[in-house]
Structure 1
Amino acid sequence: MSRRLTVEADGGSRGNPGVAGYGALVRDTETGALLAERAEPLGKASNNVAEYRGLIAGLEAAAHIDPAAVVLARMDSKLVVEQMSGRWKIKHEDMKRLALQARDVAAGIVRAGGAVRYEWIPREKNKDADLLSNVAMDGRTVHRYLEDDTEAPEAAADAPTAATTDACAPVAAMPGSPVRVVLVAQAQGEAARSAAAAVAHLLGGAPRCLLTAPSDVAVEAAAEVGSALGAEAVVDGGWGEEDDALLAAWDRVVQRGGTTVVVCAPDAVRTVLGHLLGVPAERRSRLAVAPGSLAGVEVWDGDEVSVAFTNRT
């Protein structure tokens, strides 16, 4: 007999779009026992995107607990519930993509012998998921299953000098979501302050993992960025090295997941971009990287890389 599970999901945005995050939890429908909790910051996004991401996370958590469960997904978003139930059309492309992702997860549950249905509830009956979404908007990630008491994977024992803080703890992979990295070329004075403002605007001002190379200039620039993000910079010596050590530091950032901001020398930014773009070492000096500029990289499932922008000031 299939297990009966209830998903409660929510998402929010401080500004629309603005600093966004989602929260979701799974309960045993019969006993009400809490089985799983999920929360994740989303950077700058709309509340509707956050709502859908919360639903996806909740369905995935339910499928993890029992792939063939009979799932009731409860949300206070009338839009998401009506669209997922097929009663309202989906016009926005972002919503279409997220709805398809949610339906794929639900279809997997159905194929395994379970079922999924959706129910709208008033906001006051969705307080636990709302609380988790606010935890996410504060920059914290939650990935917990209470039955087996497992947490998100911990940092590798041989990690560099970068300590594992709440903001820099490993982030559980979210199917269909990339690892995002913003590389900030270290600068001083007004250029550093402008870079900090640009990062805060890009990420919505929410705390993110913030790493810095160990040089004085990088640390000072990272302090400006940290002040804008509300995050404490963590020194990773690998970002002050060259070639193999630097690329190993890059790999650690990708393996951590989530969103990371790295403040390092312009040459370090060129090394990473050149590596990702296949630019020979002798030609990497041709990559324009101004002090205080930003480069954005997304790494998708299967290690597919997209360089979203470079030399942004």
Structure 2
Amino acid sequence: MSGARARRTFVVEADGGSRGNPGPAGYGAVVKDAASGETLREAAEFIGRATNNVAEYRGLLAGLRAAYELDADAAVLVRMDSKLVVEQMSGRWKIKHPDMRPLAMEAAAVFPPDAVTYEWIPREKNKHADRLANEAMDAGGRGERWEAGASRAELDTASDAGAVGGTVPAPQPAATDPGPTAPAARVGWGPDLGTPTTFVLLRHGETPLTPEKRFSGSGGRDPELSAVGLRQAAAVAEALAARGTVEAVVSSPLRRCQETAAAVADRLGLSVGTDEGLRETDFGAWEGLTFAEVRERHPEDLDAWLASAAARPTGGGESFEEVARRVAAARDELLARHTGRTVLLVTHVTPIKTLVRLALGAPPESLFRMELSAASLSAVAYYADGNASLRLLNDTGHLR
């Protein structure tokens, strides 16, 4: 008597892109046999004007539908370099954008929920789908439809022939380091990628602990701005009002940031949003201590913390690795929510340094090699191809 047929497992790799975000957009998807790695089906389409995230969801939907046509009873592993899509489809992030919510619902309905799992991969490992998306956009630019028989995506991926369609893959980040990393090519030298999303990064004004250089994170007391800090907040508010570019304000939940953000938002006529991911590191038992006091009381823990991003402060605080994952998740959600806009993020030393480090693709030890003054401004621009460009660091001209 023959046994039951073994359940097939497919790997779906999907991607989408927009040349302008929003702009001319397309998606690509490939279905592979999980056991052999054989390509079973390719799909790609030019979808007109859309955002990156919508194109990524369209690619996911096309990949799942192609897998379902091959075997409706299969198990599916979806692998994408879109942290947003992976986290939303895994149920860990809410889907707030009205254009993405119906696409996500369609994708979730293709297979039973327990048949599909999601995994984030770096862009370098998603080349096949990326090149299919670029082929579709190239065809759309010529007024043609993408044809599977004419595709070279699999061949180009196998031979690692480089980027197609003007997209330059970013370097692969370390396994514990949430991307994106440094741009593979200087943004100014590449194709026109449209209006970037710009995060203006404002460190809060001084508190009573700031001039004493004490650890002040999210695990101890929640100090308010000092008189100096309030003057700094007013000064930066005037400077940003004069620039006139900020379209939204988002703050850490901690009091010093909320007070700084309120001063700026009131001057700009905007409201203040709050994002838990922008809070400062929890420094555990070091909260309220100076560096010298930590050195005296916890020398071994301090040495470990300075040597490794995985080490936590004494007493169960957060490691820099944990902070980086939290900040990167907040970054990705804010990018999806504010595509093409200039957003002021009012936050702390570690989150700002982390955003800068990730934009540059710098190692964790670079956190100790940046200076960030109270009420200083920095800025990072994020482009449609996933690359980032540091525009400003520790500007305090408005305080002079």
Report the TM range for the smaller structure's normalisation.
0.3 to 0.5
- Max Rg structure: 2
Larger strand fraction of residues: 1
TM value normalised by structure 2: 0.34
TM value normalised by structure 1: 0.43
